[in-house]
Amino acid sequence: MADERIPNLENKSVLPQPLPEMKNNNLPKFIFSVKLKYVKLGYHYLVSNAMYLMLVPLLCMILAHLSTFTVDEIWNQLIFNFVIVVLSSTSIVFTATLYFISRPRKVYLVEFSCYKPGPAHKATRELFMQLSSASEVFTEQSLAFQKKILEKSGFGEMTYAPKGLMHVPPDQSMAESWRESEMVMLGAIDDLLAKTRVKPGDIGILVVNSSLFNPTPSLSAMIVNHYKLREKILSYNLGGMGCSAGLISIDLAKDLLQVHPNSYALVVSTENITRNWYFGNDRSMLVTNCLFRLGAAAVLLSNRTFDRRRSKYQLIHTVRTHKGADDKSFNCVLQRADPDTKNVGVSLSKDLMAVAGEALKTNITTLGPLVLPMSEQLLFFATLLGRKIFKMKIKAPYIPDFKLAFEHFCIHAGGRGVLDELEKNLELTEWHMEPSRMTLYRFGNTSSSSLWYELAYSEAKGRIKKGDRVWQIGFGSGFKCNSAVWRAIRTINPAKEKNPWMDEIDEFPVRVAKVAPIVS
């Protein structure tokens, strides 16, 4: 697969865009498309600011009416209606007090950290194939299939694998699995604590997610033991929830922070590769071997008001969608035993893309009204009425422009096919997809932690400005689609950042050669 550097154009408004040929009959079409773009832009600003525009004449009327009174007349009216003034003032104070007491606590993302393994864990495509061949388990057909998957995956040559799988024969023991989880999780937490200078004893909530590796004692207990966390810590260990578990952990931590004031919550997301590598020849289970790689992320959340000044983001919304009631959705990502070898692996159904699309549609139907400007909601509602009520011949429902709601998109780097479909369906640009594609290229699919490698990429590029909105989208077994929306509290200065991209960020983005879809 041929990869090459592409220009580092950070301003998405100046990215080169293909323009239609302005010859013969194409010139009128080009002029019409430009006019249509500015008509829609004007419509968006008009609807978004309609409330302010309507308030102007009302304010003028009130000021004109008040100008007819003298100061003495206004004072006499206040004295005459003293009881009404007192009752009104009391009601306002009471309502304001009730609002401030009952409103949800604000949740801040103080800092996050992504683990970057050392050079000894680097797994090139060539090394991957050498280790697969040396195992003497896979048939020639299976080896050829894995090679094809790697060539079309969107991976580079610098992803990471655990040491246990680099042995010949591979070591999948419980001890080696523990070593992998400890290395990535504790490495991410150590870096996070160093950056925030938060003492382990100050952490009141701990949420850990690892889908397939759930030993006893739990991974969360291992963290409590290692850092000697407080005895009354609220500790949760989530398992079997797939790649979307990272956002489920964020949602759980957010809910816990609503009822436990003045608290820190530590969220740790990872997946164990050693214990769950598949040694067999079932193609639906071989795909996961090719896609999953080593990684972990640690996130520190806070509901302390005085932490806002040093925090990076504020959590605005979380939306969770679970399609497990549908059999096709439930079975599209399934851990099972190979009927031939009885070896356990995770199989991916051919229905995966369709299931993911339906889950995303349900999720954004809930999220849309919370984040989209009124102009987009009106257009969506109008086309829906036209198709359903008035039976108008509209080919497809209106797809809202989510680029009006978010400046940055972090889409789970589960595979190239998923990213291609979302880029097409959400009508995103290469600039918006760059963090996800480069994370897949550089680190592979790191499961639930991939969203944080993507956000770290945007920070390393200096793209995050104060007030920017970030949409994180995660997919996982079950089947689940989850979203988290963040707003940047401050501009992120990459010169002051320490994340896994900083020492090589100038080498990205790279252009990944286009290939045909994989047909198994």
Catalytic: 412? yes
Contact 369, 352 (CB under 8 A): no
Q: Based on the number of CB atoms within 10 Å of its own CB, is 330 exposed (0-12), middle (13-18) or buried (19 or more)?
A: middle
Q: Are 467 and 473 in contact (CB under 8 A)?
A: no
Catalytic residue among 209, 289, 408, 499: 408
Say if residue 353 is exposed, middle or buried (CB neighbours under 10 Å; 0-12, 13-18, 19+). Answer: middle
Pair 486, 415: CB distance under 8 Å = no
Of the residues 114, 322, 332, 499, only one is catalytic, namely: 322
Q: Is 322 a catalytic residue?
A: yes
Q: Is 167 a catalytic residue?
A: no
Question: What does the DSSP assignment read for 32-82?
Answer: HHHHHHHHHHHHHHHHHTHHHHHHHHHHHHHHHHHTTS-HHHHHHHHHHTH
Q: Which residue in 237, 332, 412, 481 is the catalytic one?
A: 412
How far apart, in Å, do the first and last CA atoms of the chain sit?
Answer: 19
Tell me which of 209, 237, 445, 482 is the catalytic residue. Answer: 445
* Integer angstrom CA distances of residue 479 from 306, 337, 399, 417, 452: 38, 20, 23, 17, 21
What separation in angstroms does the CA of 359 have from each of 140, 406, 421, 468?
A: 36, 20, 13, 26
Tokens for 150, please give them: 């790697």
- Please tell me which residue in 243, 290, 410, 481 is annotated as part of the active site: 243
- CA–CA distance from 489 to each of 65, 371, 464 (Å)? 41, 17, 10
Question: 504 is written with which tokens?
Answer: 């090589």
Catalytic residue IDs: 243, 322, 408, 412, 445
